[in-house]
C-alpha cells in the first residue's frame, strides 16, 4: 500500500480507486466524523462510533432517497420561510467554501470572517496542487 503525506492526498487517492457507492459511504463517514469533532468541540458531547456510523448511514440514505424521488416539491415564495437578518452588534460570521478544479488538478479553499458592521476581519484563500489524476 502506498503511503500518503496528508489527508487531502489520502482522500484523492481513495477517490481514484473507489467506486461510486463506496465513495459515497466513505465521504459521508468523513463528514460524520467531522460532525463528531464539532459536537465535542462546541457542545462538549462525545459520540461513540455507533452514533457516527448511524448518522452517516441515515444522512446518506436520506440524500439518496431525495435524489431518486419522482416528486419534487417547489415553493413559490421561499421568503416565507427565511428572511435575512443582519448580525447583532459584536458578532462575527464565517463563510467557508471549497472547490475542485479537475482540469487544473487543484483544490481551492477559502474563508472570510466578517464583522457585524460588514468589515472583513480575516480571510484566506489556499490552492493545493495535485500531480496525479483524480
Of 89, 107, 91, the C-alpha closest to 99 is 107
Q: What are phi and psi of 56, to 5 degrees?
A: -60, -45
Question: What is the pLDDT at residue 14?
Answer: 78
Alpha-carbon distance 55 to 117, whole Å? 37
Beta strands in the chain (DSSP E): 92-101, 106-115, 120-129
Residues of the chain with pLDDT under 50: 134
Question: What is the pLDDT at residue 53?
Answer: 93
Pairing of strands 106-115, 120-129: antiparallel
The model's pLDDT over 13-34, given as tens digits with 9 standing for 90+, comes to 777 787 778 888 888 888 899 8
Question: What is the pLDDT at residue 45?
Answer: 93
Question: What is the pLDDT at residue 134?
Answer: 47
- What's the whole-model pTM score? 0.51
DSSP single-letter state for residue 103? G
Amino acid at each position: 500500500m502506498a503511503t500518503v503525506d496528508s489527508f487531502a492526498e489520502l482522500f484523492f487517492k481513495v477517490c481514484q480507486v473507489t467506486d461510486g457507492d463506496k465513495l459515497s459511504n466513505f465521504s459521508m463517514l468523513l463528514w460524520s466524523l467531522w460532525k463528531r469533532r464539532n459536537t465535542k468541540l462546541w457542545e462538549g458531547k462525545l459520540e461513540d462510533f455507533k452514533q457516527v456510523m448511524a448518522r452517516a448511514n441515515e444522512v446518506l440514505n436520506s440524500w439518496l432517497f431525495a435524489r431518486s424521488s419522482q416528486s419534487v416539491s417547489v415553493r413559490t415564495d421561499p421568503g416565507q420561510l427565511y428572511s435575512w437578518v443582519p448580525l447583532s452588534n459584536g458578532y462575527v460570521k464565517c463563510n467557508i467554501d471549497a472547490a475542485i478544479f479537475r482540469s487544473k488538478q487543484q483544490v481551492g479553499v477559502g474563508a472570510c470572517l466578517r464583522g457585524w458592521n460588514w468589515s472583513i476581519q480575516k480571510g484566506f484563500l489556499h490552492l493545493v496542487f495535485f500531480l496525479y489524476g483524480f
